[in-house]
């Protein structure tokens, strides 16, 4: 049996705007049916990369193949196999949710059922409401619904859950798991690392226009980055920490040294994906980087939900 060709293949991708190199030699591939999370701070080159794959931007160098086609030459038949959820949208929205979805469904050769998509996106109660009258989170659901209405083979999700409340986010995850189960290939960018951990099979981390790590989500950053930390408060009230691959033994020794007394504020902390991510990105920024990080469409409006990122950059 011959292996299925990858849905996305990127080799040494480069993109510069004038003198600014936004993407500097990024390579990765996404297998058919895989969910790949592209992570990185604002301005790292994520959106530039994804927009090149979607066919919106031309590249300065490197090779790109999306569903076997160079996006630069992708025609209507190629577009019919993609679903694109862009990072921002602020359309005037004088059509109702149902009208909008029904209209877009008509563009595709074998669209999903409009009512099913409305239900899956949690928009049933707003089906007859004009898009302009919806809240930010509800409009985002319409964006996602429009992205999947054409039954795409490859779905691009660029920060899809910005503005979602926790319940909506869980509903969205459920929806995406359903698409994964159907075999949809997904390229996701997000600032919510729990989201990447929930949905992704593999992740790539971009910083300064370069891919600084790539791998399965439970392996990324390497084994060292995932060594647990034992933390407790000693007799003098000072917080003590010990990084160890054998935390149970450290705790046992600690208890023994206290003659069986309970250590104060004892914690065993396994680094979350967020911890791993932050240490990777900080490690990268410690190295004097080029000019790359400055210009990209990632530099959007200030958004309180992007705090994680601002923290990274601070």
Q: Is 290 in the site for another protein (CB under 8 A)?
A: no
With respect to another protein, which residue has the nearer C-beta, 86 or 230? Answer: 86
Of the candidate spans 39-47, 86-94, 226-234, 257-265, the one that interacts with another protein by CB under 8 A turns out to be 86-94
Among 109, 166, 235, 302, binds another protein (CB under 8 A): 109
HSE (side-chain half, CA atoms, 13 Å) at 121:
30
Question: Could you tell me the smallest distance in angstroms from the CB atom of residue 126 to another protein?
Answer: 17
With respect to another protein, which residue has the nearer C-beta, 8 or 206? Answer: 8
First to last CA, the chain: 51
Question: Could you tell me the smallest distance in angstroms from the CB atom of residue 65 to another protein?
Answer: 9
Q: Is 99 in the site for another protein (CB under 8 A)?
A: yes
Q: Is 110 in the site for another protein (CB under 8 A)?
A: yes
Site string for another protein, 42-81 (x = CB under 8 A): ------------xxxxx--------xxx-----xxxxxx-
Number of residues that bind another protein (CB under 8 A): 46
Sign for the pseudo-dihedral over CA of 69, 58, 16, 44: negative
Q: Is 126 in the site for another protein (CB under 8 A)?
A: no
Q: Is 303 in the site for another protein (CB under 8 A)?
A: no
DSSP code per residue over 82-100: EEEE-S-------SBHHHH
With respect to another protein, which residue has the nearer C-beta, 109 or 260? Answer: 109
Q: Is 3 in the site for another protein (CB under 8 A)?
A: no
Instruction: In whole angstroms, give the CA distance from residue 244 to residue 239.
Output: 16
Sign for the pseudo-dihedral over CA of 74, 216, 203, 213: negative
Among 3, 183, 235, 288, binds another protein (CB under 8 A): 183
Q: Which residues within the stretch 128-147 sit at the binding site for another protein (CB under 8 A)?
A: 130, 146
Q: Is 201 in the site for another protein (CB under 8 A)?
A: no
Question: Where does 144-259 show beta strands of DSSP type E?
Answer: 154-158, 185-189, 202-207, 210-216, 229-233, 239-243
Question: Could you tell me the smallest distance in angstroms from the CB atom of residue 99 to another protein?
Answer: 8
Instruction: In whole angstroms, give the CA distance from residue 214 to residue 40.
Output: 12
Q: Is 288 in the site for another protein (CB under 8 A)?
A: no
Q: Is 14 in the site for another protein (CB under 8 A)?
A: no
Q: Are 27 and 33 in contact (CB under 8 A)?
A: no
Q: What counts of helices (H) and strands (E) characterise the chain?
A: 10, 12
- Parallel, antiparallel, or unpaired: how do β-strands 185-189 and 35-39 relate? parallel
Question: Could you tell me the smallest distance in angstroms from the CB atom of residue 205 to another protein?
Answer: 25
Give a three-class secondary structure readout of 38-64: EECCCCCCHHHHHHHHCCCCCCCEEEE
Instruction: In whole angstroms, give the CA distance from residue 94 to residue 118.
Output: 18
Q: Is 154 in the site for another protein (CB under 8 A)?
A: yes
Residues binding another protein (CB under 8 A): 4-5, 7, 17, 32-33, 54-58, 67-69, 75-80, 82, 84, 86, 88-92, 94-95, 99, 103-104, 106-110, 130, 146, 150-151, 153-154, 183, 185
């Amino acid at each position: 049996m011959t292996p299925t060709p990858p849905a996305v293949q990127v080799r040494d991708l480069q993109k510069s705007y004038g003198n600014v190199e936004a993407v500097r030699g990024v390579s990765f591939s996404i297998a058919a049916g895989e969910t790949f999370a592209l992570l990185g701070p604002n301005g790292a080159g994520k959106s530039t990369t994804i927009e090149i794959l979607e066919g919106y931007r031309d590249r300065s160098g490197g090779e790109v193949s999306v569903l076997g086609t160079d996006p630069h030459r992708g025609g209507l038949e190629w577009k019919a196999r993609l679903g694109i959820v862009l990072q921002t949208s602020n359309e005037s929205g004088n059509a109702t949710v149902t009208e909008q979805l029904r209209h877009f469904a008509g563009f595709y050769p074998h669209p999903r059922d409009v009512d099913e998509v409305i239900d899956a996106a949690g928009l049933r109660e707003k089906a007859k409401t004009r898009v302009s009258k919806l809240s930010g989170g509800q409009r985002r659901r319409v964006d996602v619904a429009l992205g999947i209405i054409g039954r795409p083979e490859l779905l691009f999700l660029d920060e899809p859950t910005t503005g979602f409340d926790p319940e909506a986010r869980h509903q969205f995850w459920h929806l995406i798991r359903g698409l994964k189960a159907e075999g949809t290939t997904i390229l996701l960018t997000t600032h919510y690392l729990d989201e990447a951990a929930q949905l992704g099979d593999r992740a790539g981390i971009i910083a300064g226009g370069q891919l600084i790590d790539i791998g399965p989500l439970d392996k990324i950053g390497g084994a060292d980055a995932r060594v647990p930390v034992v933390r407790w408060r000693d007799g003098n009230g000072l917080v003590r920490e010990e990084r160890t691959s054998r935390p149970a033994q450290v705790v046992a020794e600690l208890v023994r040294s206290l003659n069986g007394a309970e250590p104060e504020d004892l914690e065993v902390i396994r680094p979350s994906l967020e911890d791993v991510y932050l240490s990777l990105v900080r490690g990268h920024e410690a190295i004097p980087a080029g000019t790359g990080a400055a210009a990209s469409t990632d530099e959007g409006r200030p958004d309180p939900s992007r705090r994680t990122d601002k923290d990274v950059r601070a």
